[in-house]
Structure 1
Amino acid sequence: MKNVSFGKLNLAEAEYSVALFMYMRLLGYPSERISILTTYNGQKHLIRDVINQRCAGNPYFGQPHKVTTVDRFQGQQNDYIILSLVRTKAVGHLRDVRRLVVAMSRARLGLYIFARVSLFENCFELTPAFKQLTARPLQLHIRPHEYYSQEQPRDEKPDQIIKDMPEMTNFVYNMYMHMMQTSQKYRQQQQQKLAPPPEETQKDAAVDPARGSSEEPQPETPMEQEDPGEASSEPNTENAKEEGGQDAVDHAKMPEHPGRDSDSDEEEEQEQ
């Protein structure tokens, strides 16, 4: 059985590329507008493995539009390209400037290149291209407070500079955990707003004398059966005592509201 070589690998660049993709996704960049390219098949498969471990099963990240080699991506474009050049000791087949031109012309809006600059800038064939690239910052500059969907002019806050891959992976992890905690707190607050307060629920179950919403039918008093127009204007002390006694019985049957005493019920009844 033959051993199949997939070419060159660079784990640090693979992790760095995936961390940048995750960071862009947390800021709201659509995954279909991001592609990750590399110059070797082995690096392509390595990046795919890292994507599957870090992102594939997480709806916050998903997968890029494509993870492929520069040669296979020829003739195509995407808004944002993350490019891994892999090599650290020798330039290899990238010495052909046409391949480098193809690699660097695939992005419409943003191009991020991970490479050992000291190796490629000393290559005679690549000097013109890398002279333009090295005129820009050589370290990754990010702005985590600016989200993809925000339509506003660039503010004066300074960029955050990422020095290396471990710092970027740690930053993305902390950013992700912060967003998860914030999202969880927001869901809890929404659930508390939607759930009825316990006091209101129990208050509805209590008897309201003014509305006559008692679950048990209240016996009619002699005063309710008597026509108000024919009622005597002289006070009837016996009826008043009977009514007072009947009210005491009625109130004894009424369940008291939790957290409220019987005096508060009587005050509400007198106000009504």
Structure 2
Amino acid sequence: MALLRPLVDHQANTLTLTSHDDDQAPLALPLFPDTSVLQQKTVTVWKDSLEAFDMGDAAAEWVTTFIRNHASHDAVNTTEDEADLQVPLLRLVTLEDPDLGRYSRQAHPKLPGIHASFADKTPVTIGCYASLDTLNDELVSKDISKGATIPLNRFRNNLDIQGTLSYEEDQWLVVKIGEVTFYITEPVSRCPMPGIDQDTGVKDTWGGPTPHLLKTRHFAERTDRGYFCIHALPLNKGTIHVGDSVQVLERIPEDQQRFALSK
């Protein structure tokens, strides 16, 4: 999926699906489709059942063809592209605007009105370059990555921040970026996905950063998870531009702060 490159054009109201190698013709879809003319489908995200809307046969065929054409980029990169990978017909679905009042997947039990859509937990995750520098230093100095460093896009955040102290985001509670104020809920537990090069779709031969994070960035409540970056809930609508300042409005009280542990 890292090799599927969506292009968003707000002025044209289009979402264009493109392939990383331009081997598949792009497909332009409406960015905000009229859901009244789309077929409704029930989909499952973790334990939640949601009413979604099918984007049509052309979108389904494009996504299915893309996955079938990239058979080598499976979990362990052992399958050749030309192999007969058995992929069923996939469907691309969307959700309607939650402001219409017919859709709800609360991102936090005490903050009604903030929805997680198809995300795991929160609609936004935030990463910090200073923390990445610390992680890369550890991966290289301990010869875990065989001299390689990883970019922040491995963690697929919505927002990336420069100019912080390393891991100070662990203690943030409320921050403002541009016009939007965010409530920080928790650090992000990491799956093996950060071990996949987002430009090539190839898995790191050295195992990726997640095993190291499990050893050096877990919490007392969950010693079976490694944490990096933070979950965030937008408390209002607004515009954020590249280069906007970040204001830390509130930090977790000292008597409630938790710090990452090492095994």
What is the TM-score of this pair, normalised by structure 1?
A: 0.20
> Which entry has the higher C-alpha Rg, 1 or 2?
1
> Relative to total residues, which structure has the larger helix share, 1 or 2?
1
> Relative to total residues, which structure has the larger strand share, 1 or 2?
2
